[in-house]
Structures are given as C-alpha cells and as structure tokens.
Structure 1
Amino acid sequence: MCNRIAFFALSTALFSPLALAHPHSFITLVTTVMAENDQLTGLKMQWTMDEITSADLLYDAGDAKPGSPVWKKLAAEVMANVLGQHYFTEFWHNGQKVTFNNLPPEYGLARVGHQAVLTFILPLAHPQPLKGQTYQFATFDPTYFVDMSYDHNSDAKVPETLAKQCKISVKTPKPTEDMQAFALSLDKADAPPEDMELGKQFAQQVILQCQ
C-alpha cells in the first residue's frame, strides 16, 4: 500500500471518512501501440489522474512552468514508483509474459486543467513480431487501491501505419457480485490479500491482433 501512496503523492483527503471503499483513486488510460520495422517495440501511455489524486502533485508544482526543474523532479519521483511496480502492466504473447526494459526512453508530468497527466513510453525488452500475431496486455493496481481504466474502447490505439494490418480491442471484465461486494467492503485501512490480485479481477484486457 505504501508504494501506491508514494506513487500518487496522495493527499490526506483520500483518507477521509468519505473514502470508504476500494478503489480510492482513479486513473484514466490512453495507450498507443508503438512499432518499427514491422515489429512491436512498446506502448506509449498517458495516465490522467482524478482531481483529488492530482491535488498534491499540482500543489507541489505550484506555478512552475512546464519543463521546469520542479516538474522534472516530480515526474522522476512518480516514474520511479511506476517502475517499482513494473509499469503496473502485464503483457502476454502465446501464454508467455513479455518483459519490459527497466527504464523508459522518455517520460513527463504535466498539468491539464485540475488534473495531473503522466506520459511515458513503456519499452519492450525485445521487439516482437507483428505479422500473424496476437498480444494481450492490461494495466492495473493489484490491490485495486487505484482503478486504472479506459473511458472509451477507442482510447487503446494503433498508429495509422498499422491500421490496415492490426486491430485492437478492449475487453471489460464482469466480476462476480461476490467479488464486487468484497471490493466494496474494504475500507480505507484495508488491503486485500496480496496473492488475490484483486485489481486483476477488474482489469480491462487489451487485445492486439495482426494479420
């Protein structure tokens, strides 16, 4: 739990009596597949944090201009925690996990209205073939302390150069009523059993299929 708190620089408002059930915080995802020479090389990600989650980050940034040392320092702190959780992402090919590079080639943090937006490239450790292949990936917090989801199926994208060759879709799970009730029963001081991976039960699966 501490990693999640450090990651989002959560304000004490999140731990008020109003925050009674999981999830406590929300992140909206936009992901674009990256490719080069007919090979899958990584994912370009944009994470938009809800206004309450954003509050501390934006407070710490103050009136600093984009690209200033203040923003760079905040971005590095947030990114370090994302890396500590393996980008909060699982990536699969033919039933095997695809591994990532430990460091993103680029990342940044910015203010958009009253929200903090983290952007970064998640690089695969090794380029993967696209032709005739199917990949599946999901981004989630295992504890479900944070809900990480796509507002629209179209927020998972392929670049125009792959549009004719590859199709991408988002599959939203339907957890059982018991699972939903369990998540709602967790109060602000609770955490689900680690091996349960509660967040995975609610995680949207993105499927990339290429001809």
Structure 2
Amino acid sequence: MNRGNACALALVFTFLSLPVAAHPHSFISMRSETITANGQFTALKMRWTMDEITSADLLYDAGNAKPGDEIWKKLAAEVMANVLGQHYFTEVWHNGQKVKFMNRPSEYQLAREGHKAVLTFILPLAEPQPLSGQTYTVSTFDPTYFVDMHYDGEGDVTFAGNNPSHCTLALQTPKPNEKMTAYALSLDKADAPPEDMDLGKQFAQKVILQCPSS
C-alpha cells in the first residue's frame, strides 16, 4: 500500500507475512458496547479480536509474558497510537454531522486469547450526546478495505449495563454490488484503491442506535 493513512493497521500488525491475495488481507472480529449515563450517549467500549495471522507478530513479541506485564503495556500503547492516528477507524453520525471523539481513550488493553490478540478500549465522545428522540449511526472500518473489520452478529452489539432510556441497537450489513465486490477481489497486497473511493466504507456495517422520545 502506498498511502500512509491507508496502511496504519498494516504497520501496526505487521502484515508482511501475509501471502499476496485479494482484499481484504486481514480480519478483525468486533464487539461494541454503547455506554450511556444520565440520558446521554457518552462512549463506546470496543473489543477487537484479530485473526491468528495478524496476531502472530504481536504474540511473538509478547512471548510468555503474563497479563499485566510491561511488554503488554508497551505493545498496547504502540497499537493504540496507530488506531488513534486513524480516529479509531470509527465514525459516529447524528443528524448528518460527525460526532467528535476525545483525543485519547479513557482506557485500553492488549491481551492474548489462545492464538489471537485482543485489543479492548473505551472510545469517549468529546461531548455527551442526548438520547431522547435521537438516532445515531456508528461504523468502524479500514478505508482501504485492507483489513475487514466486522461484527459476526447482532449479539456483538450491546449496551454496557442497563439501558434506562429504552433505546434499541440494530446491526445493518451492506450488500455491495457485484462490480464493487469484484473490484475488491481484484486488488492484491501491493494495491491501494483510490483515496476518494473509500472502499472500506462500501463494506462497512452500521450500528443504529435509536431512542424514543421521553
């Protein structure tokens, strides 16, 4: 890939060991929890589980380190720095406007689960957003589609704790047309789609947060 902003995750997870193949080259399975307080949408808690090939170099560097060891903190900080450089690879939209995030997560952690690396972090909104009568759309994706970032099902999109505002969460999975799908499949590891194409967005799932009026 030849654009710095397009290969942040590739640099983080060291995809050099991957074979040349069609897009995407790596897969991250996600879970998210919507955090609310006092009738407001305040943050998202994200959990990203990387596939085994993507995880291999991170886990190699961690060696036999136990949870809480300094190497995990170091690796987590390196991964998180790249994620922050891409605005968490996440967009939140409300009434046609992007909702801004805080510059840093309130907490983050990298851990091992079997042969996979798992990154968890809390993504705080810059300002709490009202819930009553409002609808928010959340998408998380790599713009180049070099990395497939996906939810496996509705159960991976939940509220953190109780949901006093009686809001609902729905997961929408797009169905790109055959031409778009064929184009993605035609790209090999060295290719990058045009920046204005925003290829990853064409395949990005949407989490719809909808709340009734009080």
TM, length-normalised to structure 1: 0.95
Tell me the equivalent position of 1:120. Answer: 121
Residue 2 of structure 1, CA deviation? 3.7
Tell me the equivalent position of 1:169. Answer: 170
Tell me the equivalent position of 1:6. Answer: 11
Question: Take 1:129 and 1:70, find their aligned partners in 2: how far apart are those partners?
Answer: 39
* Superposed structure 1 runs of 4+ greater than 3 Å apart: none
User: Quick check: 1:158–1:166 contact (8 Å CA) kept in 2?
Assistant: no
User: Quick check: 2:55–2:115 contact (8 Å CA) kept in 1?
Assistant: yes
User: Quick check: 1:139–1:204 contact (8 Å CA) kept in 2?
Assistant: yes
Letter in 2 for 1:166: C
Quick check: 1:156 aligned with 2:160? no
Quick check: 1:24 aligned with 2:28? no
Question: Take 1:174 and 1:208, find their aligned partners in 2: how far apart are those partners?
Answer: 20
Aligned residues: 207
Question: Take 1:107 and 1:119, find their aligned partners in 2: how far apart are those partners?
Answer: 6
Please tell me the root mean square deviation across aligned C-alpha atoms, in Å: 1.1
Residue 160 of structure 1, CA deviation? 4.3
Residue 159 of structure 1, CA deviation? 3.2
Tell me the equivalent position of 1:107. Answer: 108
Partner SS for 2:162: helix
- Deviation track 1:61-100 (CA, whole Å, cap 9, x = no partner) reads 0001111110000000000000000000010001110000
Question: What 5-or-longer segments of structure 2 have no aligned partner?
Answer: 1-5
Question: What 5-or-longer segments of structure 1 have no aligned partner?
Answer: none
User: Quick check: 1:131–1:210 contact (8 Å CA) kept in 2?
Assistant: yes
Question: Take 1:39 and 1:103, find their aligned partners in 2: how far apart are those partners?
Answer: 20
User: Quick check: 2:35–2:44 contact (8 Å CA) kept in 1?
Assistant: yes
Quick check: 1:140 aligned with 2:141? yes
Partner SS for 1:70: helix
Tell me the equivalent position of 1:39. Answer: 40
Greater CA drift, 161-170 or 88-97:
161-170
Question: Take 1:6 and 1:188, find their aligned partners in 2: how far apart are those partners?
Answer: 13
Tell me the equivalent position of 2:191. Answer: 190
TM, length-normalised to structure 2: 0.94
